[in-house]
Chain A
Amino acid sequence: MEVAKIENVTRTFTIGKIETHALRGVSLSVEGGEFTALVGPSGSGKTTLLQLIGCLDQPTTGKVFIDGRDVSQLSRNERADVRRSKLGFVFQFFALIPTLTAYENVEMPLLLSGNGTADRQARVAELLDAVGLSERAHHRPDQMSGGEQQRVAVARALATHPSLILADEPTANLDTANGETVMQTMMRLNQETGVTFVFATHDPRVIKFARRVITLRDGLIVENGSQAKNA
């Protein structure tokens, strides 16, 4: 089943009188259960493409579909609802709320979705266990390593059973060992839960984990790899 579909999308940023074409007509389909890497040099359009799929931004032209729904022209609140219910995010920086514990950070999307207390407790415990951080549940981000924080972010991204998790250079700020752990965690969760992962990277050590690699250059897809292997 197709969880994300991009149809001839362009994205142009205008700063003053200068126009920058970040994406120049990209079409792409992502099937459920994929573990896909968007690769390419800096400025190739990886992050912009992730942001469009993630409903964080809107295309200049073209259409973006999530679970078959056109999200290209949704209002700000409607996009927030799609992000909350269908998508999960892992960012390059350790995007946790510093005043909340690991538990509370994972709980936040569930709170926003209106889940009950018992439901939340069970789900957060399950997810922290899945990323191996049960014992760190009541630690705040500044009491955890970068790798641990990123695993909490992965757990948070999975909280609401999203269709698709988008990760933007998830290992860029981690050392090799921690980067490896985070990627292995993501891959394991992909295999165990079937949730789709699309991550942007230019790190060859990360690309090796992908079962499908899509290469961008200058705002265009230059290589649209198909699902290559099953774990």
Chain B
Amino acid sequence: MIQMLRLAFRNLGRHRRRSFFSALAMGMALALLLMMASVLKGEYGDAIDLAVRLQSGHLQLRSASYDEVKTSLKWEDLIENPDQVAAQVASIGPVAVATPRLYASGFVTTRDESDGVRVIGIDPTSAANDPYREGMREGEFLAPDDRDGLLIGWALANRLGLSAGDQVSLSVNTSNGDVDEQSFTVRGIYSTGTSGFDGFTVFLPLAKAQAFTRAENHASTIFVLLKDTAQTEAVIAALQAPGYELLTWQEMNQLLVQTEELSSSYMVFFYLIVLGIAATVIVNTQIMSVYERTREIGILSAIGMRGRRVMTIFLAESGLLAVGGILLGLAIGGAVVAYFTRYGLPLDIEDFGITGMLFRDKIYAWLTVQDTVRLSLMTFLITLLAGLYPAVLASRMEPIAALRAEK
């Protein structure tokens, strides 16, 4: 086998430039696939991470009758004594943080503009709100006892032309079905790097939100982050109680999870198409090689080489081209992926948040070892498959006809 590989290697060396470009074709294809896979993984991985950290948490405890779509504020649909419930949840071992949140629909109005918003009442001291605290662009974060301050997102502030310290009017639905309006000071402007979230989310201290919406000592949900998501089932089992409903992050981000699964499935076809196109270069190179070396095939056959061995030589050549292509692909693709992992790929998808999916303004590539191995293996197999036809062609040559071929 070593001799066959040596022969195959030398055969490729006859036309170094041609062999290089054939390998490069496969390498470029692999580089493209690595780029695609890493962007996809980065995009959805980031989206899931954002969805969990900013929106859903790993788990949410809600009243069984709570309707998220209607953003119900009726007391019977809310959790009573939420601080006490959150403290009980937080006492369970695998829970990292549990904090109450109150959701309401509202309208922010300035002198010239107005925009629909989602109002979230939060406990400003909770670690669950660190992503917003860490993303402060202007002004300061909320204090628990702030009675007339709110936080707005960077995208919304830009749209409405607001800065920290400006006055706005906020209207919200209340628990008794009315709409109430109050003037607030923009205490600060935060950015999560996610236009879809920052463009329509306004934060109030929980106590102020409860008072403003007449929800009093109630919250829409207990937002839970876990230390280890592998413990999700154990936490769910511990939190089972009548009148409550527990939702996992997968259930709350179904659209995102399903879209990721669907995209991954579709990408396999895309990968095969890209590799298939590149593989035509290999087929072409190897067929050319078979016809150029027809007489040599005749000689090998005349000295007793069986067809299967002739096939092995040509497959070994394809295998070596595949290895060369994979190395080139890893080098080129690795460099491109490293760049996008560090600097990100700019993305203009401001409206995505409305559909329930959050994406950053930039996609940061994320290449896993599993994807690298899987795509390299796929490249190798497709290249071998591409080399199969020329190899069979060579192996089936009649020695007498092959020996007659012009050199």
Contacts and interface: CB of A to CB of B under 8 A. Distances in A.
Interface stretch (A92-100, A182-190, A198-206): A92-100
B302 interface: yes
A57 B404 CA distance: 12
Given A93-B407, A97-B299, A76 B307 contact: yes
Given A97-B299, A99-B11, A100-B10, A56 B304 contact: no
A95 to B, nearest CB: 5
Interface string B4-18: 000100110110000
Interface stretch (A33-41, A59-67, A106-114, A212-220): A106-114
A85 interface: yes
A84 B307 CA distance: 13
Contacts of B407: 93
B11 A112 contact: no
B296 interface: yes
Given A97-B296, A99-B7, A99-B10, A112 B403 contact: no
B173 interface: no
B159 interface: no
Contacts of B14: 98-99
Interface residues of A, number: 28
Given A99-B7, A99-B10, A54 B302 contact: yes
A14 interface: no
B250 to A, nearest CB: 57
B300 interface: yes
Interface string B294-308: 011001111111111
B400 interface: yes
Contacts of B309: 112
Contacts of B3: 111
A97 B300 CA distance: 8
Contacts of B306: 77, 80-81
A56 B399 contact: yes
B303 A56 contact: no
B400 A91 contact: no
A112 B3 CA distance: 10
Helix, strand, loop or mixed for chain B's interface?
helix
A112 B312 CA distance: 13
Contacts, number: 64
Given A51-B400, A56-B400, A83 B303 contact: yes
A46 interface: no
Contacts of A51: 400
B168 to A, nearest CB: 79
A80 B7 contact: no
A77 B403 contact: no
A156 interface: yes
A108 B302 contact: no
Interface in B279-296: 295-296
A197 interface: no
A149 to B, nearest CB: 12
A89 interface: yes
A91 B403 contact: yes
Nearest to B12: A99
B316 to A, nearest CB: 13
A57 B401 CA distance: 9
Nearest to A51: B400
Contact of B303 (A57, A77, A89, A93): A89
A84 B304 CA distance: 4
Given A83-B303, A93-B407, A99 B13 contact: yes
Contacts of A83: 301-304
Contact of A112 (B296, B303, B399, B400): B303
A109 B304 contact: yes
Given A83-B301, A98-B14, 16 more contacts: A54-B302, A56-B403, A57-B400, A80-B307, A88-B303, A91-B403, A93-B407, A95-B403, A97-B7, A97-B296, A99-B13, A99-B14, A108-B300, A109-B303, A112-B303, A112-B305
Interface of A: 51, 54, 56-57, 76-77, 80-81, 83-85, 88-89, 91, 93, 95-100, 108-109, 111-113, 156, 160
Interface of B: 3, 7, 10-11, 13-14, 295-296, 299-309, 399-400, 403, 407
17 contacts: A56-B399, A76-B307, A80-B301, A80-B304, A81-B304, A81-B306, A83-B301, A83-B302, A83-B304, A84-B304, A93-B295, A95-B295, A96-B299, A97-B300, A99-B11, A100-B10, A112-B303
Minimum-distance CB pairs A-B, first 3:
A84-B304, A99-B10, A83-B304
